[in-house]
Amino acid sequence: MRDLLVDKTAVVTGGASGNGRAISLAYAEQGCDVVVADIREDPREGGTPTHERIESETDAAATFVECDVTDYDSLVAAVGAAEEFGGIDVMVNNAGIFQGEEFLSDDDSTFDRIMDINVRGVYYGSRAAISEMVDGDGGSVVNLSSVAGLRGSGDFVSYCTSKGAVRLMTYALADRFGPDGVRVNAIHPGLIETTMTTEDVPIVGTEAEEAFQETIPLRRNGQPEDVADIALFLASDLADYVSGESVVVDGGMSSTQ
């Protein structure tokens, strides 16, 4: 199936790397112009910058905007860059960080940093995008939560807190802006092979990987493309009657453990 997002424009935060990069490329392959909004242009995993790949490999247009999601003006500028392509239709609040903490001895720095990027970033990104969508024909907002937003994990109290907040923010925004034609949904990935899980909290490629995979009914790690497929569905008209929903992309892990 092609052209699911033809004539649409998306802004993808954290679109330089990992899941955001796969989402940006999947959208462009379906005819969507993309604003890649990230603090870095070069993918963490290496390779050609996302917007350059879109320009050379697809018929869609793309641009890179330097954007720190903790700064509201930065997100307004990223959404504004979509005007070049006809204005924003889809906002993907994907930028996020993953780190653990020892709850009793940690200073506030882990909590502050995670909440700032993972929660404030989604809040600001949603506001910047939705304020344009309500003045236009509505739109679709896709927020990246995590299975950590569904279940508690003691080594990651701040991260779980942030991803649970993203889930409820999604439901609240869906309620508030559904009447304006804005759909808001969340994706909850499990173990996805990105630099987040090879370097930041190393699981993939470590001794722990095999034991982790034993907890996944499909017995494999997720790939960024698995997340991108769901982000594509949620952004497209196939999900026209889907809002305030959480889609889990974890190979069956969280419903069987």
- Identify the residue among 5, 8, 20, 64 touching ligand NAP (CB under 6 A): 20
When asked if residue 13 is in the footprint of ligand NAP (CB under 6 A), the reply is yes
- In a 10 Å sphere around its CB, with 0-12 CB exposed, 13-18 middle and 19+ buried, how is residue 102 labelled? exposed
Residue 95 touches ligand NAP, criterion: CB under 6 A: yes
* Closer residue to ligand NAP (CB): 98 or 233: 98
Instruction: Pull the structure tokens for residue 192.
Output: 């996805």
How do beta strands 33-38 and 62-66 pair?
parallel
Q: Which two three-digit tokens encode residue 209?
A: 């990987």
Note whether 63 and 54 are within 8 A (CB).
no
Residue 55 corresponds to which tokens in the numbers above?
């320009």
Residues 159-218 touching ligand NAP, rule: CB under 6 A, are 189, 191-192, 194-197
Question: Minimum Å distance from CB 216 to ligand NAP?
Answer: 12
Of 9, 10, 14, 125, the residue at the interface with ligand NAP (CB under 6 A) is 14
Interface with ligand NAP (CB under 6 A), residue total: 31
CA distance 213 to 210: 5
CA 45 to chain centre: 17
Compare residues 58 and 118 and give the one whose CB is closer to ligand NAP: 118
Closest distance between ligand NAP and the C-beta of residue 209, in Å? 12
User: What is d(CA 192, CA 209) in angstroms, rounded to the nearest whole number?
Assistant: 12
Structure tokens at 107: 């200073």
Given the complex with ligand NAP, which of 63 and 178 has the nearer CB atom?
A: 63
Contact partners, residue 97, CB within 8 Å, separation at least 6: 113, 114, 117, 118, 196, 200
Q: Judged by CB under 6 A, does residue 39 bind ligand NAP?
A: yes
* Residue of the chain from 61, 77, 97, 242 that contacts ligand NAP (CB under 6 A): 97
Concerning whether 159 is annotated as a catalytic residue, the answer is yes
Annotated catalytic residue: which of 72, 123, 159, 241? Answer: 159
Catalytic center residues: 159
In the complex, the residues that contact ligand NAP under the rule CB under 6 A are 13-14, 16-20, 38-40, 44, 67-70, 94-98, 117, 121, 144, 146, 189, 191-192, 194-197
